């Protein structure tokens, strides 16, 4: 397996985030609503050292709303507050400030008791690459902020972005890395587009996605790809390959002699899936996590 934990990156990212924690009141932990656990850094509790935190489930427009609600209950059982959003369209983004104020309510009250005008809450967005950090920062800022966060070796002075009167946001997010201990985590990240095809082979990613879709979203599959039937068991690789072949034929992904171009078929499936063409799909649910534990 070519992908791994990137220990060097992680140590550096952790140090950088811990430096920023000194400056801020509240952390906005951005997760992908379709894969909240796989897009989460498992050391996050240790890294954040008890800072008040809001879990924001981004790309909720692409996730299965029922499963997103299950995830909200899952995190809230652990005493964590959650908010599903869509940073692209701005859906629920205006709820971020009120939720952060709730987290900071005791401090605000204490300041008011002392007759001090509460200052703006200082916040930091953290999350793995591609989860939507820059999109959210730009949306909160109401303009495009240069995205330098992901470029190694680029340093610049920290700037505060004013988000209305009540919040200030650090302009560079904290970048976390997912942990690929479980190979399925890598596949979920790849299926949703969080990691690119160079890391895992596109055919394998598409097969993983198809298996999952056959098992959990059969009707959406049939409808999108015009399939009359699906194999009863998505775990049989030969059967899943046949489904990929059929989709390839329907989409015209062919080589000479009418043979299916698997790579092209796989890319088509992934592109349509990631663009939400199969409907709103989540790639992990709290139930499956509980089953594993």
Nearer to ligand G4P, 93 or 167 (CB): 93
Applying CB under 6 A, does 55 fall inside the site for ligand G4P?
no
Applying CB under 6 A, does 68 fall inside the site for ligand G4P?
no
Applying CB under 6 A, does 179 fall inside the site for ligand G4P?
no
- Residues 6+ away with beta carbon under 8 Å from 26: 51, 52, 53, 54, 100, 103, 104, 121, 122, 123, 124
- Are residues 13 and 175 in contact, defined by beta-carbon separation less than 8 angstroms? yes
Q: What is the number of other CB atoms lying within 10 angstroms of the CB of residue 151?
A: 8
| Residues of this chain, 138-177, that bind ligand G4P according to CB under 6 A | 150
Of 68, 72, 135, 172, the residue at the interface with ligand G4P (CB under 6 A) is 135
**DSSP letter (8 states) at residue 181:** S
Minimum CB separation from ligand G4P for residue 195, in Å?
10
- Are residues 151 and 200 in contact, defined by beta-carbon separation less than 8 angstroms? no
Applying CB under 6 A, does 34 fall inside the site for ligand G4P?
no
Applying CB under 6 A, does 131 fall inside the site for ligand G4P?
yes
Minimum CB separation from ligand G4P for residue 128, in Å?
7
Applying CB under 6 A, does 130 fall inside the site for ligand G4P?
yes
The SS3 of residue 270 is helix
Applying CB under 6 A, does 58 fall inside the site for ligand G4P?
yes
**Choices 81-89, 104-112, 201-209, 281-289 (CB under 6 A): range interacting with ligand G4P:** 81-89
Nearer to ligand G4P, 87 or 169 (CB): 87
Nearer to ligand G4P, 25 or 32 (CB): 32
Question: Mind giving me the DSSP string for 183-238?
Answer: HHHHHHHHHTTSS-TTTS-HHHHHHHHHHHHHHH-HHHHHHHHT-S---S-TT-HH
What percent of the residues of the chain are helix, what percent strand, and what percent coil, each to the nearest 5?
Answer: 45, 15, 40
Applying CB under 6 A, does 129 fall inside the site for ligand G4P?
yes
Instruction: Using CB under 6 A, list all residues that contact ligand G4P.
Output: 58-59, 61-62, 86-88, 127, 129-135, 150, 193
Per the annotation, where are the binding residues for GTP? 58-61, 130-135, 174
């Amino acid at each position: 397996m070519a992908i791994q934990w990137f220990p060097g990156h992680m140590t550096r990212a952790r140090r950088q985030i811990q430096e920023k924690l000194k400056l801020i009141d509240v952390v906005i932990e951005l997760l992908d609503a379709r894969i909240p656990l796989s897009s989460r850094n498992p050391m996050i509790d240790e890294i954040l050292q008890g800072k008040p935190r809001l879990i924001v489930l981004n790309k909720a427009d692409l996730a299965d709303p029922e499963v997103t609600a299950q995830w909200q209950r899952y995190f809230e059982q652990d005493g964590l507050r959650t908010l599903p959003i869509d940073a692209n369209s701005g859906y629920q983004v205006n709820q971020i400030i009120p939720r952060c104020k709730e987290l900071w309510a005791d401090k605000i009250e204490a300041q008011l008791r002392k007759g001090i005008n509460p200052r703006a809450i200082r916040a930091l967005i953290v999350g793995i690459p591609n989860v939507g950090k820059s999109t959210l920062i730009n949306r909160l800022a109401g303009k495009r902020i240069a995205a330098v966060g992901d470029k190694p070796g680029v340093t610049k002075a920290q700037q505060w972005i004013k988000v209305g009167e009540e919040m200030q946001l650090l302009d560079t997010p904290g970048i976390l890395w997912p942990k690929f201990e479980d190979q399925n985590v890598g596949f979920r990240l790849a299926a949703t587009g969080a990691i690119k095809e160079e890391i895992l082979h596109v055919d394998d990613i598409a097969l993983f996605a198809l298996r999952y879709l056959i098992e959990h979203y059969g009707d959406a599959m049939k409808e999108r790809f015009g399939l009359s039937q699906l194999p009863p068991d998505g775990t049989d690789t030969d059967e899943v390959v046949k489904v990929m072949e059929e989709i390839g034929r329907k989409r015209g992904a062919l080589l000479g002699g009418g043979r299916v171009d698997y790579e092209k078929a796989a890319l088509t499936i992934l592109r349509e899936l990631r663009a939400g063409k199969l409907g709103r799909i989540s790639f992990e649910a709290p139930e499956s996590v509980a089953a594993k534990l």
